[in-house]
A and B are shown apart, each in its own frame.
Chain A
Amino acid sequence: MASYAYLFKYIIIGDTGVGKSCLLLQFTDNRFQPAHDLTIGVEFGARIVTVGQKRIKLQIWDTAGQESFRSITRSYYRGAAGALLVYDITRRDTFDHLATWLEDARKYSNANITIMLIGNKCDLEAKRAVSREEGESFARENGLFFIETSAKTAANVEEAFVHTAADIHDKIQAGVLDVTNESSGIKLGPTQPNLSSFPSGSAETVRGCC
């Protein structure tokens, strides 16, 4: 089994058809499937990335856009360290619905969750219906990271997942996230990070646990 320092749990949310599953597939398998099956319920993917010389396993949950999934699966929103909130830059309605998705994410997730706003399908510039500035502005107003991606060309897909991981990692370093609390969406991996890098309070907790 590949070793890693931490496991971070992500969720991907957003309207149906914005490309959530395609982003996940591009990230985990480096391929694009133009006619992707509709997600029914939930899909699952995993990949290891490197952040600050640490190997971090991302365990990613991708849900159906139509489903209000929190109402049927406790473990979905239960402890996610990162959320990718996705809209389609060619469909205005998917941008207009962001506030509702964000409300859900805030309400049911960990207070310290890192949220990356993603404007997907940026390869379709000619069909653009939401400007980059609008996306940036929404992200700024709501304290989110922002990036435009193309699951088709793979542009910025890696960055979206890795930047989110880097922010979560920073929060661990800063002692904002407690790695022993599973609801934070973080687990220690089979190989332990250097505990001396933790603020003393967290380090104590880690030792006590493991």
Chain B
Amino acid sequence: MTTLRELGQTSQYTEQHLLSVSWKLFLEYLPGLDDIHLLWPEALHKERSHYERLHMKYIIEPSQQLNPSSDDQVSPIEGPTRPISPSVVDLSIHNPLSLAQDSPWQQYFQDNELKAIIQRDVERTFPDQPCFNQPDAQRAITDILFVYCKMHQDTSYRQGMHELLAPLWKAVNEDRFHRGTGFPSDPVVSQDNIIFQVLDARYVDHDAFALFCRIMRVARPWFEVSDVARNASANLRPRTALPGAGSDRSAGGTISDSLRYLKIAELSRATPILAKCNHIFYSLLKRVDPSLFQHLESLEIEPQLYGIRWIRLLWGREFPFDDLVTLWTALFAHDPNLVAVEWVCVAMLIRIRHLLLEGDYSTCLQHIMRYPPLTGPGTAVSSPGDGEGGPLHPTPPATQPAGCHIGPYHSNQDGAGDQPVQLGSRFPAGH
């Protein structure tokens, strides 16, 4: 498995391996490569039954829960949630016209509003990828997000989640295998058909949900905006909380620097995505590339301006879809807890450092927020082999240790951008 994870961090990997199976392994949905004929079916059954139950609980119309034989959505997996028997139900409550608080229909109609909100965003998922225009894909992605939101009602649905889920669903869907299409259809677990169980077309949504949940274990805080943060920001009114020399003129001295920084710290603590952006910029970039840090800081380009999108979408807007898949594979292969996220962000800044160092405020924002394309054979990641030193080597970028690296970026100007930015394969744990 270690070897496979190392391979996963190379640029050629995604062309040569079943993507969805790799992601299932890297994200630890499938429990490693030992004893797969025993352990994989167990894991698959557990996860798929889980989604099946949730789907039945949250998605299926109350009438179908009562009378499952009226349609074809009968669970193919045995689970503890069985359809409710009509004989034990009070039909005066259990009907669509009931105004009773505990009528399942009341909740159903409320849920439809949330589902409509999700659906509207899902229709705008990766417009350049035709597969997401298909009604079936949109329905599946909406359902999975809806189920996830019902499970996590404190966070509920936040824009951007759909773009974390969509590539996962696409990978699973493209590798799906239909039983009886030229391969053994015998469901008995055997060495011959384990991979077909993994790829079973009936469980595309189930598996995408399982992968999404694994990503969201790490990513959910990135979507949280707490009430504390809202209150803290209210105290950071424009006239009183302007960072930087230029702004101090207008601050009017109504709030001291120390108090201001205290407020910012409070805001960061309350909003994990802010804390992460600040850590990347004020801690990691400052150590790795002090001159770039100073330049961006002097321009007052706040890291969250670009960091929120980079991190929430795991760079879904920064790279073409194929490069994105390669980058995600390397990220998942490196560590299922995605600890490399911060370092990829640092590497992305350093990769365009020569453009940034020459730029004023507007130019820098243009480069950072419309990230220059990767060029050359290569790609989003590559592995130069074993390296030395730690990822925090003070001299960027050529002397960084081996592992993932982003690059190369070919500059038309001075060639300085040809230098790939490397990141260590042994990142320290995330912030």
Interface positions of A (Cβ within 8 A of B): 1, 16-17, 33, 35-38, 40-44, 46, 59, 64-68, 70-75, 77-79, 107-110, 180-184, 209
Contact of A46 among B160, B300, B312, B362 (CB under 8 A): B362
A78-B242, A79-B238, A182-B246 provided; 14 other pairs, C-beta below 8 A? A38-B160, A41-B308, A71-B232, A72-B271, A72-B273, A73-B305, A74-B241, A74-B264, A75-B302, A78-B241, A79-B242, A108-B234, A182-B247, A209-B249
- What chain B residues lie within 8 Å of A44 (beta carbons)? 305, 365-366, 369
Name the CB-closest residue of B to A70.
Answer: B233
Cβ–Cβ contact A40 & B160, under 8 A: yes
- Expressed in whole angstroms, the Cα–Cα distance for A184 and B252 within the complex equals 13
Name the CB-closest residue of B to A111.
Answer: B239
With A44-B365, A183-B250 given, is the CB distance from A38 to B302 under 8 Å?
no
In the complex, 16 of the A-B residue pairs with CB atoms within 8 angstroms, ordered by the A residue number, are A1-B360, A16-B120, A36-B124, A40-B160, A40-B312, A43-B369, A44-B369, A64-B159, A68-B230, A72-B233, A73-B304, A73-B308, A78-B242, A79-B238, A110-B238, A183-B242
With A73-B305, A182-B242 given, is the CB distance from A68 to B225 under 8 Å?
yes
- Expressed in whole angstroms, the Cα–Cα distance for A201 and B385 within the complex equals 66
Cβ–Cβ contact B247 & A41, under 8 A: no
- What chain A residues lie within 8 Å of B360 (beta carbons)? 1
Name the CB-closest residue of B to A35.
Answer: B127
Name the CB-closest residue of B to A65.
Answer: B159
Query: Within B117-162, which residues are at the interface with A (CB < 8 Å)?
Result: 120-121, 124, 127, 158-160, 162
- Expressed in whole angstroms, the Cα–Cα distance for A171 and B195 within the complex equals 70
- Expressed in whole angstroms, the Cα–Cα distance for A181 and B238 within the complex equals 11
Assess whether B355 is interfacial by the CB under 8 Å rule.
no
Looking at B160, B273, B365, the one whose CB has the most chain A CB atoms below 10 A away is B160
Name the CB-closest residue of A to B305.
Answer: A42
Cβ–Cβ contact A36 & B242, under 8 A: no
- What chain A residues lie within 8 Å of B312 (beta carbons)? 40-41
- What chain B residues lie within 8 Å of A184 (beta carbons)? 250
Cβ–Cβ contact B242 & A73, under 8 A: no
Cβ–Cβ contact B236 & A74, under 8 A: yes
- Expressed in whole angstroms, the Cα–Cα distance for A19 and B239 within the complex equals 30
Interface positions of B (Cβ within 8 A of A): 120-121, 124, 127, 158-160, 162-163, 225, 229-230, 232-234, 236-239, 241-243, 246-247, 249-250, 264, 267, 271, 273-274, 300, 302, 304-306, 308-309, 312-313, 317, 360, 362, 365-366, 369
- Expressed in whole angstroms, the Cα–Cα distance for A55 and B369 within the complex equals 25
- Expressed in whole angstroms, the Cα–Cα distance for A13 and B217 within the complex equals 31
- Expressed in whole angstroms, the Cα–Cα distance for A180 and B250 within the complex equals 8
With A77-B238, A108-B237 given, is the CB distance from A71 to B229 under 8 Å?
yes
Name the CB-closest residue of B to A209.
Answer: B249
Name the CB-closest residue of A to B244.
Answer: A182
- What chain B residues lie within 8 Å of A183 (beta carbons)? 238-239, 242, 247, 250
Contact of A74 among B127, B233, B317 (CB under 8 A): B233
Cβ–Cβ contact A36 & B309, under 8 A: no
With A72-B274, A73-B304 given, is the CB distance from A37 to B237 under 8 Å?
no
Cβ–Cβ contact B250 & A182, under 8 A: yes
Cβ–Cβ contact A37 & B124, under 8 A: yes
With A70-B233, A72-B229, A72-B271 given, is the CB distance from A42 to B308 under 8 Å?
yes
- What chain B residues lie within 8 Å of A37 (beta carbons)? 124, 127, 317
- Expressed in whole angstroms, the Cα–Cα distance for A184 and B365 within the complex equals 21
With A16-B121, A71-B229 given, is the CB distance from A38 to B249 under 8 Å?
no
With A38-B124, A42-B305 given, is the CB distance from A66 to B159 under 8 Å?
yes
Nearest-neighbour CB distance to chain B for A203, whole angstroms, equals: 17
Cβ–Cβ contact A72 & B127, under 8 A: no
Q: Which 4 pairs, one residue from A and one from B, show the smallest C-beta to C-beta distance?
A: A35-B127, A41-B308, A71-B233, A181-B250
- What chain A residues lie within 8 Å of B236 (beta carbons)? 74
Contact of B158 among A1, A17, A66, A71 (CB under 8 A): A66
With A40-B312, A41-B304, A79-B238 given, is the CB distance from A74 to B243 under 8 Å?
yes
Nearest-neighbour CB distance to chain B for A35, whole angstroms, equals: 4
Cβ–Cβ contact A38 & B233, under 8 A: no
- What chain A residues lie within 8 Å of B160 (beta carbons)? 38, 40
Cβ–Cβ contact A41 & B309, under 8 A: yes
- What chain B residues lie within 8 Å of A41 (beta carbons)? 304-306, 308-309, 312
Nearest-neighbour CB distance to chain A for B97, whole angstroms, equals: 25
- Expressed in whole angstroms, the Cα–Cα distance for A92 and B266 within the complex equals 38
Name the CB-closest residue of A to B263.
Answer: A74
Looking at B264, B271, B308, B369, the one whose CB has the most chain A CB atoms below 10 A away is B308
- What chain B residues lie within 8 Å of A65 (beta carbons)? 159
Contact of A71 among B127, B238, B271, B300 (CB under 8 A): B271
Contact of B120 among A17, A33, A59 (CB under 8 A): A17
- Expressed in whole angstroms, the Cα–Cα distance for A111 and B150 within the complex equals 41
- Expressed in whole angstroms, the Cα–Cα distance for A3 and B348 within the complex equals 31
- What chain B residues lie within 8 Å of A40 (beta carbons)? 159-160, 163, 308-309, 312-313, 317
